Amino acid sequence: MDNSHVRWRSVFERAAESFVEMTEAVPEDRWDSPGLGVWSLRDLAGHTSRALTTIETYLAREPEQTTLDGPLAYLAAVAATSATAEGAAAIAARGREAGEALGPDVAESVRQIADRVVALVDRTADDAPVTTTAGGIVLGDYLPTRALELTVHTLDIAAALGTDPPDRLREPVAACLGLVAEAIGETPQAAGVLLALLGRRPLPADLHVI
């Protein structure tokens, strides 16, 4: 097993655990309150849960040729779609649908999904084919993108609640910073982002990774 894949398996599991912990911290009367953009907290939890359920769905599909050579290729393909108005609207709709599907006990539904998918990942090889809507990729390269989604949106939930994220999210945050830095490093915005992180200038207004 590739050492990077070993690390991302650990990061993915910690990110999933953090998402579960964060949803358990949401008061029952807050699920319809603002979450992120057009989403309520329920919608946001639904969207985030898709970082888990898509693993099940895509592993179960008919395998296709691997066309995405690593997580950066996947992120670039997805970013190209989500940057359009139609793509953003579709993502928003899927988030709302997934939120409704979580039912009356959102936290318990999230826990069940996380337990089921983490167990699936544990027993699935890194080179297992994952047939995504953006193309074919292997599981070991898909997991970093799932960890990124789980990490960022767990932070979003914490921000919406005005609370601190779980301590166990620190490792995923550090790993995802590295992944995002790699993704940005392949774009024309790389130099501007580096200067911004060093305090030389503001971040580019149109910065977009996923």
CA nearest neighbour of 41 among 29, 50, 52: 29
Length reported for the chain: 210
- Within a domain: residue 210? no
| Residue 209: pLDDT band with limits 50, 70, 90 | low
pLDDT tens, 65-103? 999 999 999 999 988 777 778 888 999 999 999 999 999
Give the model's pLDDT for residue 81. 75
Place of tokens 């949401």: 26
Share of the chain above pLDDT 70, in %: 96
CA–CA dist 74, 1 (Å, integer): 21
* SS3 state of residue 129: strand
CA–CA dist 59, 52 (Å, integer): 11
Provide the CA 181 distance to its chain's centre, in angstroms: 16
Give the model's pLDDT for residue 189. 85
Number of structural domains found in the chain: 1
- Indicate whether 25 pLDDT > 80: yes
CA–CA dist 129, 139 (Å, integer): 6
pTM for this one?
A: 0.93
CA–CA dist 170, 167 (Å, integer): 6
CA–CA dist 88, 158 (Å, integer): 23
Expressed as residue numbers, the domain containing 175 is 3-197
CATH code of the domain covering residue 155: 1.20.120.450
- Within a domain: residue 88? yes
- Indicate whether 210 pLDDT > 70: no
Backbone angles phi and psi of 137, in degrees to 5? -150, 160
Place of tokens 């089921």: 116
- Within a domain: residue 167? yes
- Within a domain: residue 43? yes
Q: Which range has the worst mean pLDDT, 9-18, 88-97, 104-113? A: 88-97
- Within a domain: residue 166? yes
CA nearest neighbour of 31 among 110, 107, 112: 107
